[in-house]
Structure 1
């Protein structure tokens, strides 16, 4: 563990002090629709329509200067989370470049004068044609797996002329995955708790099946199983009675719903009877530079957080220390103790089972 962290610290120092040379040759990227995207020079102005990519651009660049437009939901994560404190100017970046359902608002998009527009792949021409027809360059990315996450992070860094940045960050991801998989592979099935992740929980309760579900990926990684593995599709509405039937050992609440708190489970006449509620194993996913639920540049921290909660006898990450090193690498920022408490919702869930380990010593 110490070896990995020392390597990370060295890599952070190199990224911070070494100047990045501009590429003289055109940049060519194969995107997730297997389109060839060519840039005459590294992109200096990037607009991001998919929600998670705004913070990815910031992390791959180490700042906000190249992000000229983003999705309003991405902006809400910045405003609500610590990234708005780290990069206050991010709050002023336009977020009107997209209409509902990720349809480009071409008029507003054009005013940002982007060198590159990042858009979803595999979702039809209505999302792409307006961008291309306006004479703008589009890079299409897909979402939902660890492999795709590493790929689009590499695409973004390459587009900015700094592929080494993604190589370093993706190397960190690979190393943590390997460490965790080695520790969790021999956990007997009967010792793997059932975890239910609720993608929405206020106006409706939603859960997703295992196929293409990133939450299921890291639930399995830390030595647990997904309670909703057999649900058909993603974001499927479920009932409290269905949750009672599953009777999960742990319930994870999403970080997308700002007003969602642990009382949603504890005050519910049905959900409060689950093993998760009875044993105080209900947790809200942290909100850092981005929401920790979906894949993003901070995902290894999500895995460590959950691993420590689920199997504290097997995983003993110094999460606060890991967060400080990661934020230095990703954003060149020194997290304060108050920052960490806020990201982890310590005030809200500090009394939950096994949560005391995350409090400042």
Structure 2
């Protein structure tokens, strides 16, 4: 039974897995890369170096997410044993999984990828793939991180909480509010999301006006370029920090605009997968260094080693954190 309560018949041995979207793709890469048959987007050159050489050139078959379509013809040639659909567990997810399963005649399981439930996602996948030990290790890491942050966030006095704007889109004028799957990292660490807009389903990214952002007057702005999923690196950060129309905002005046680290995948969102576990520690330290006190360089090194099978050099750590 999957996380949506669907009874799905799966093979006794699963060696080939495809993910509906990048959320599951990243979990699969961290857990059992040898079973991942394809990427959902092309991993571009600046990001490839953090991926193990034998998986860098897996085919990009797209997927069933955002405005992407899946190259079903190529996928059927590969003939995976299982398709995984990570994300929110709701009627939309159930309908999509049922439709793909019917269309492809391949079992599709739904897995809840909420930030606080990533440990359960790993344990579930570990059972399915016969990778319980590895899954248990990664699950414990996720659980310990989330639990630690929840406890420390309670120590932040309400009046000291920092007002944050998450700037998305090419102009920085799209955002997601508190309670969105795209802002779980900010919610968890105890930041105040200034975006007073409704939660938008799917990809989110509610358009806002510069006047709204000026009125919210955040103390910190986080910028994102969606990493290898698209967008020119540093574009939004450069725009906000140099455009005079943004210059009266407190975050800009105080030089507290930060470009979210995004290698090999964005640390905050897009895709909202396990990449956010190191993002939690990064943002916690950034907003409340006196509360969290993480040794960030050591944490980043440890995370990359555990999850991405990659040993970072000191210079690489410095480069990853350059604009942030």
Give TM-score, length-normalised by structure 2. Answer: 0.85
1:258 and 2:239 aligned: no
- Does the aligned pair in 1 maintain the 2:247–2:253 contact within 8 Å? yes
Q: Aligned partners of 1:255 and 1:150: how far apart in 2?
A: 27
1:113 aligns with 2:79: yes
Specify the alignment match of 2:60 in structure 1: 95
Give unpaired runs (5+ residues) of structure 2: none
SS at match of 1:92: coil
- Distance change (3 Å), C-alpha of 1:162 and 1:124: closer
Tell me: CA distance 1:342–1:159, structure 2 relative to 1, closer, same or farther (3 Å).
farther
Mapped pair 1:336 → 2:313: yes
Bigger Rg over Cα: 1
Find out whether 1:51 has 2:27 as its counterpart: no
Find 1:166's aligned residue among 124, 135, 157. Answer: 135
CA deviation after TM superposition for structure 1 residue 163, in Å: 2.7
Q: What residue is the counterpart of 2:179 in the other structure?
A: 211
Q: 1:1-361 maps to which residues of 2 (within 5 A)?
A: 30-61=1-32, 64-72=33-41, 75-76=42-43, 79-81=45-47, 84-98=49-63, 101-119=67-85, 122-123=92-93, 125=95, 128-143=98-113, 145-200=114-169, 202-203=170-171, 205-215=173-183, 217-233=184-200, 234-256=204-226, 257-259=231-233, 260-294=235-269, 295-344=272-321, 346=322, 349=323
Q: Please, what is the CA RMSD of the aligned residues?
A: 2.5
Residue 127 to residue 342, structure 1, CA distance change in 2 (3 Å): farther
Is residue 69–residue 112 contact of structure 1 (8 Å, CA) maintained in 2? no
User: Any idea what the Cα deviations from partners look like across 1:60-95, whole Å, max 9, x if unmatched?
Assistant: 12xx321112211xx33x6442x5444123232111
Mind listing any 5+ residue stretches in structure 1 that lack a counterpart? 1-29, 350-354, 356-361
Q: Distance in 1 between matches of 2:155 and 2:96?
A: 47
Q: Which residue of 2 aligns with 1:5?
A: none
- Residues 32, 79 of structure 1: alpha-carbon distance in 2 compared, 3 angstrom cutoff: farther
